[in-house]
Chain A
């Protein structure tokens, strides 16, 4: 979910965000980015990644709170607040911050995921101090009027219609995610359920803001043409003036996930679905949930099983057997809560979903029975590690990598040491991780079936 529209994806936006960050994290290496990190007296964590390619900076503020922290019955409030953060402060009118950014030729946006909420401006380097002052102002002094709240609620409802209600595959994703988790709040859509969005109030937004938007619950990331000393000075003069205050333990509030004892299956037919599709996801550990030693083997497994045109699923189902038009796998270890390992495929005309499903199940059984080869692992590891070199090419991109990792409960080392951890993956560790993850009772299967209308 973001404040400004962007091209839509067939996957749900929350999933896309997770997948993107999974890929992004894949690209980092300590010796390459060499971030400098420090913490202000009020608890604000600061990360600076210098890159002097172009005289611009990316200024990103990430709050360690997201849609999975929405109170019961108030789904969508984290995202709604993200929208309302543009509606002024005690000293700035609604839209004034955006107008200032516009006038200096800057770009801005904001986004809400399950585990974090982020705000950023990309600007010429000389404007960084002003951006920090304005962002710090809205961390402490948000002031919104009822009229703006009502109009923005309608905007969010239109956003929901665009993203979900007008698109059958998004509708199905929402249903599948709701079934994937029994208790953990990842089951609730980031944008919220429509009935609950309608009930969100001015007071709800301010209560959420007062609870979570504190300097000691945020991460400031600055990438680009700037030095750490300069950022420290500017941060102390702006964010540094905001006092720390107690913030709830969000992991405790979210609770756990009870054992899954039965596989779930969600099927949806729609006259507006032009093409059938099938997916299955298994509950999986991540860097911050369950046994983290399985995280990198699962990343390698996702690459071998479903990473592109030479992966097992694509080669066997799409090229050799001609059962599917597309097939692949996804996994991201970077969230705060229980993660998922997923596979998907879409059948060729005339191929029954059951046939496709059986073929994918056979691929999973082959992994469980025979594992993967050392050659497959070696090739996947090289490709994943090369990604770290390509990630150096954009001077602002590291801001998203570090922000996403830190705001979801990870550490700088999680990013920096990732290539080294990937290099230690062996075929045996992949097999061990597969045995832990590929449990039939831990699955949720989603099927979308086109239904001809009269």
Chain B
């Protein structure tokens, strides 16, 4: 998943892709504070009679209690399944009849949502959003229906090699931390979540102190301000979710193998990374572009283009709230796993020892700076930019500073950060399949909730 996937994986990663210059100035961000003190960023655009609203709360899947993994995901699936006086059927019928999109999504460290509505249905959409956030019903029928859907998707996902590989990597690297337990949960943990658990997340997590809001489209600042109070004003001021501690991956240089009868092995690898707030973040972003930025990047050139070993090989920076990581993966025929993994380590080592070339660094910079306007072709993309800035505590003026931040990175900076970022001997690797050419350094881990072999 060379160039596309890392950009889809996390909004955080979009931060690496913006530029300051012409288009950024076209992005006129208004910082709105409602009469009641709720803040939002707004990009006004009256071309179409559409409003896109995105928001997120601090605290997500990593706040799931032990044995109740999947709680945040269940809440996300249930907030639009009945609220206030509207039962599930009535709520969904109103959304459908008014062509209102209302979705919630649990992430590792945050809980987010989006609403898209035509201007003519805006008041109704905001009312439904307020009800969903403040008066969700959690009636028995929808709770069991959505639970059954999540369990069905778990049964499907847990047979997939890529799901097994990912879960094993996280479980082995974060054995005593929420990051080691998948937010999708297990068959047992999803079954164990009660309505009281769901309500505890709503009361403790959907609160104004961790709230970030972005609006794009057909609304002015005054109207938005009043809407913010009506929609979010009734939420509790302060949250009570238990926030997790900072942590680092437990493994270094280990290889885990999980046997599976598949023709193609799936490989996940990673080690610690560089935090978003670290001054070396910008150099690291450029280095990741050189290493894994699609065609012409080192991994794709060496592993796919020259040797035809994979369809996709990828790597990305993942600066989670409590553990910055550098992750990657590939999939290749069982017989060629050893060669492919060796090439990853070789490229890791070469980057650490030599750094990028001046040309590579220059190309990575022009790509990162030049691709920004492509994020802004629709309201959803603009809203993503606003969300990522706010969630990372960056000022709106960051869009003007960004070019200078990247242009300040010298070849020497990049070489220094490459030594820090790429540690071939620290890479921990999980392979699912019947791989040849790799030797497990640890016994196969028991994967909680994964029915081995079927």
Contacts and interface: CB of A to CB of B under 8 A. Distances in A.
A312 to B, nearest CB: 13
Interface stretch (B230-238, B261-269, B315-323): B261-269
Contacts of A243: none
Interface string A40-84: 000000000000011110000000000000000000000000000
B263 A166 contact: yes
B75 to A, nearest CB: 17
A280 B373 CA distance: 43
A315 B368 CA distance: 46
B223 interface: no
A273 B152 contact: no
Contact of B152 (A109, A124, A346): A346
Interface in B135-172: 141, 145, 148-149, 151-161
A274 B155 contact: yes
A104 B366 contact: yes
B150 to A, nearest CB: 9
A362 B13 CA distance: 48
Contact of B118 (A168, A349, A389): A389
A166 B264 contact: yes
Contact of A450 (B153, B372, B454): B454
A7 B148 contact: no
A105 B367 contact: yes
B371 to A, nearest CB: 4
Interface string A138-168: 0000000000001111111111011001111
Interface stretch (B341-349, B376-384, B394-402): B376-384
Contact of A6 (B5, B45, B157, B332): B5
Interface string A269-307: 001111100000000000000000000000000000000
Contact of A151 (B93, B263, B293, B305): B305
A111 B176 CA distance: 44
Contact of A158 (B309, B371, B372): B309
Interface stretch (B47-55, B125-133, B244-252): B47-55
A366 interface: no
B439 interface: no
Interface string B240-281: 000000000000000000000111101000000000000000
Interface string B324-366: 0000000111000000000000000000000000000001001
A393 interface: yes
A95 B295 contact: yes
B65 interface: no
Given A7-B8, A319-B141, A274 B366 contact: no
Contacts of B155: 274-275, 450
Nearest to A150: B308
B366 A99 contact: no
A273 B145 CA distance: 21
B196 interface: no
A237 interface: no
Contact of B89 (A56, A319, A397, A454): A319
Given A6-B5, A346-B152, A319 B454 contact: no
A308 interface: yes
Contacts of B331: 158, 161-162, 166
A177 B391 CA distance: 45
A274 B164 CA distance: 13
Interface string B65-96: 00000000000000000000000110011011
A161 B367 contact: no
Contacts of A154: 307-309
Nearest to A385: B99
A6 B1 contact: yes
Interface residues of B, number: 82
Nearest to A8: B162
Interface string A441-454: 00000000011111
A5 B333 contact: no
Contact of B156 (A86, A274, A387): A274
B120 to A, nearest CB: 10
A17 to B, nearest CB: 16
A319 B88 contact: yes
Interface in A240-274: 271-274
A357 B235 CA distance: 45
A379 interface: yes
A5 B373 contact: no
A5 B1 contact: yes
A201 interface: no
Contacts of A157: 333
Given A99-B295, A272-B261, A390 B454 contact: no
A383 interface: yes
A102 B152 CA distance: 41
A393 B5 CA distance: 23
Interface in A345-388: 346, 348-349, 379, 382-383, 386-387
A182 interface: no
A354 B130 CA distance: 42
Contacts of B97: 379, 383
B312 A5 contact: yes
B26 interface: yes
A5 B8 CA distance: 12
B26 A54 contact: yes
A54 B376 contact: yes
Given A152-B308, A389-B48, A394-B378, A158 B264 contact: yes
Nearest to A105: B370
Contact of A155 (B301, B308, B451, B454): B308
Contact of A107 (B48, B305, B368, B374): B374
Contact of A389 (B50, B89, B310): B50
A155 B262 contact: no
Contacts of A383: 96-97, 99
Given A103-B363, A103-B367, A310-B96, 15 more contacts: A5-B1, A5-B4, A7-B1, A54-B373, A86-B295, A98-B294, A154-B308, A272-B261, A273-B159, A274-B155, A310-B89, A346-B152, A379-B96, A392-B48, A393-B52
Interface of B: 1-5, 8, 19, 22-23, 26, 45, 47-50, 52, 88-89, 92-93, 95-97, 99, 116, 118, 141, 145, 148-149, 151-161, 261-264, 266, 293-296, 301, 304-312, 314, 331-333, 363, 366-374, 376-380, 451, 453-454
19 contacts: A5-B4, A10-B156, A56-B376, A99-B296, A102-B295, A109-B4, A124-B373, A154-B309, A162-B312, A162-B331, A165-B262, A272-B159, A273-B156, A275-B152, A322-B145, A349-B148, A382-B99, A383-B99, A392-B47
